Amino acid sequence: MSGGIGPVEPGEGTSGREGPRPGPRTPAGRWLGRTRAAAARHGRVLAALGAAAVLAAGAARWYATRPETIPPAAPPPPSQTLSLTYGEPLVPAAAGTAFTFTVRVRTSSGPAVTVERIGQPSGALSVTIRPPLPVTVAAGEVRELVLTIQAKDCVHVARNSGMPFLEVTLSNGFQKEDHSYIPGDRYARDLSVALTRACPEDRDNGTPGPS
């Protein structure tokens, strides 16, 4: 036989075949993987819920300790912010009238005030105003009005009524109010003179009858 070298025999501790390949995953392995994934998802859900609970608790504490919102105070009645002052008589008075004069109305602050009506308490007199009412007066604004008083019934006209006043209806969008303004001594004096001129005292006596 020839002295050729034959096939190399595997050495001690070696094998002529490759090691066994890992076989397919068993049902137990798949279950274990799904369990771990579910546990991870569950942990994330718990973490999110915990964060939400912390935020909710913080919001509740803020709501409980927040400063109270104080509602704005209601504005004062319109008569406390609107002033009415006597101006001057307009002479000569128009035919058929007893007394024509000016007044100035001014709103000092707050919402605008609307003058809805100006009158006087005597049923023997009537009042007309120019410009026609209502007139709205904003804060800081001054408006001048011309008032004309006519004598409808001279028999019942009070020529000297002490401190005559004007009846005024006001509103400011929050409250409506009836208020009486006393224009002062000059108004009382000028009104008395005008009414005496329009309704002289001998007119009240009438025409004497035959004796």
In the prediction, which pLDDT does 162 show?
66
- List strand residue ranges (DSSP E) for the chain, in order: 82-89, 99-107, 113-119, 125-130, 135-137, 142-151, 166-171, 176-181
Q: How far, in Å, CA of 7 to CA of 57, rounded?
A: 81
On the question of a cis peptide bond just before residue 89, with omega within 30 degrees of 0, the verdict is no
> What pLDDT, in 10s, does the model give residues 27-40?
555 656 666 666 66
Question: ∠ CA 111-179-170 to the nearest 5 degrees?
Answer: 35
What is the β-pairing status of strands 113-119 and 166-171? antiparallel
Q: How far, in Å, CA of 59 to CA of 210, rounded?
A: 100
In the prediction, which pLDDT does 206 show?
46
Cα–Cα distances (Å) from 194 to 26, 95, 148, in that order, read 121, 13, 11
Does position 52 have pLDDT exceeding 80, yes or no? Answer: no
User: 195: how many CB neighbours lie within 10 A of its CB?
Assistant: 24
Q: What is the DSSP letter of 21?
A: P
C-alpha distance across the termini of the chain, in Å: 196
Question: Which H/E stretch holds residue 15?
Answer: none
Q: How far, in Å, CA of 40 to CA of 170, rounded?
A: 74
Does position 77 have pLDDT exceeding 90, yes or no? Answer: yes
Q: In whole numbers, what is the pLDDT of the chain averaged over residues?
A: 79
Our measurement of the distance from residue 143's CA atom to the centroid of its chain's CA atoms, rounded to an integer in Å, reads 25
The dihedral of CA 174, 176, 180, 183: what is its sign? positive
Question: ∠ CA 136-83-195 to the nearest 5 degrees?
Answer: 100
> What pLDDT, in 10s, does the model give residues 135-183?
999 999 999 999 999 988 888 888 776 678 999 999 999 999 999 999 9
Nearest CA to 98 among 148, 35, 61?
A: 148
Class of the CATH domain delimited by 78-203: mainly beta
